[in-house]
Structure 1
């Protein structure tokens, strides 16, 4: 999550090994807090697709995994196949600033960690809202599922990256919500909510039912 800059195999190794415990936890939180268990889901900046796969296992959602890295999507496709979810998941090579999906076509939009890489966050949020269906919700941000998991992962990641704690504070610390509020207020999105706790920060955007 955040500004880790590494090659694809190294990035995936961290996601697959260090962060592995968080995906089922966050998937359950998404299900509980959004109430959406069917329809179409889009995961932005999916990487190896670990969060989307965890969510697919506990819902009936059809899930699109979007990433701008072909190498990441190759890994994601392999993970989808290994999980035997090829009939319910597909990959999309694209940038969050230009999502190649129809207006109001996605019921649930999720993303963990990629928001900190987005070059034009305002444009990205406007695209997200464009494809969000009536009654649709987002669960976008960064987090670890629980404070305990955050503590364990931070202890491990600090050994690899001396700037890890400062990066976390910038991305999901006390002042982070204000940064996103300013960006979202510049869009035409009528309703959004930012929830931050010890374990992370999540943005929920809703499109009202027609």
Structure 2
């Protein structure tokens, strides 16, 4: 697991790094939320967590199931000067150690393809969102231009890149995600299909009964 975490972190920092500030700006603009608590699910080495902390007043919980990632996320936050507002937590997205109605914003980039039970994860996301909170979980590359650049570099590094991407995407098509959202019973949700990727958007009613 340590070797896998180190390899993933190296790729994130060397290849994917440019997408995280872009995605952070996007979700902040879409949500209109810039303070409170944010949860970054499957945060990996914390690049999105750090970008969100840098660009807002949010305190970010960087949640990942791999203990090695907590160390990398701390390193990332230290390097970005936001260690006081990024808190790495080792936990499972299916059983988050967070009280109901805690997070103003929930984000996750890339980990949705690896969740064992997305129906349960969607319920957990709705549970931890505060009334009026919003979640964006998916697999975007930020912009079409960034997607093109990253694909070119990953094809150079990994001859099986296209096959790997197709396989992962096949596990979470828009149709599949809509079916799982319906099964979850989440009240307010939709699929945002963008040129650079796809997001599941979950909102919590600001005036629950």
TM superposition score normalised by structure 1: 0.92
Which of these residues, 62, 81, 84, is aligned with residue 84 of structure 1?
A: 81
Identify the residue that residue 129 of structure 1 maps to in structure 2. Answer: 126
Identify the residue that residue 57 of structure 2 maps to in structure 1. Answer: 60
Contact 2:113-2:169 at 8 Å conserved across structures: no
Give the Cα separation in 1 of the matches to 2:34 and 2:187.
24
Could you tell me how far 1:155 is from its partner in structure 2?
1.1
Give the Cα separation in 2 of the matches to 1:129 and 1:96.
12
Identify the residue that residue 36 of structure 1 maps to in structure 2. Answer: 33
Q: Matched residue of 1:195: which SS?
A: strand
Q: Matched residue of 1:135: which SS?
A: strand
Identify the residue that residue 165 of structure 2 maps to in structure 1. Answer: 168
Question: Structure 2, unaligned stretches of length 5 or more?
Answer: none
Which of these residues, 192, 195, 198, is aligned with residue 195 of structure 1?
A: 192
Is 1:140 equivalent to 2:137 in the alignment?
yes
Give the Cα separation in 2 of the matches to 1:86 and 1:14.
22
Is 1:75 equivalent to 2:47 in the alignment?
no
Could you tell me how far 1:82 is from its partner in structure 2?
2.3
Identify the residue that residue 90 of structure 2 maps to in structure 1. Answer: 93
Contact 1:64-1:91 at 8 Å conserved across structures: yes
Query: What CA deviation, in whole Å up to 9, does each residue of 1:82-119 have, x standing for no partner?
Result: 22222212111100000000001111000000111101
Give the Cα separation in 2 of the matches to 1:125 and 1:170.
22
Could you tell me how far 1:169 is from its partner in structure 2?
3.9
Give the CA RMSD over aligned residues: 1.5
Give the Cα separation in 2 of the matches to 1:57 and 1:187.
33
Identify the residue that residue 158 of structure 1 maps to in structure 2. Answer: 155
TM superposition score normalised by structure 2: 0.93
Report 1:109-120 matches (<5 A): 109-120=106-117
Q: Matched residue of 2:33: which SS?
A: coil
Q: Which moved more, 1:162-171 or 1:67-76?
A: 162-171
Give the Cα separation in 2 of the matches to 1:197 and 1:84.
31
Q: Matched residue of 1:143: which SS?
A: coil
Query: What CA deviation, in whole Å up to 9, does each residue of 1:2-52 have, x standing for no partner?
Result: xxxx71111101000100111111111111111110111000000010011
Aligned residues: 204
Give the Cα separation in 2 of the matches to 1:164 and 1:154.
8
Give the Cα separation in 2 of the matches to 1:180 and 1:167.
19
Which of these residues, 182, 186, 207, is aligned with residue 204 of structure 2?
A: 207
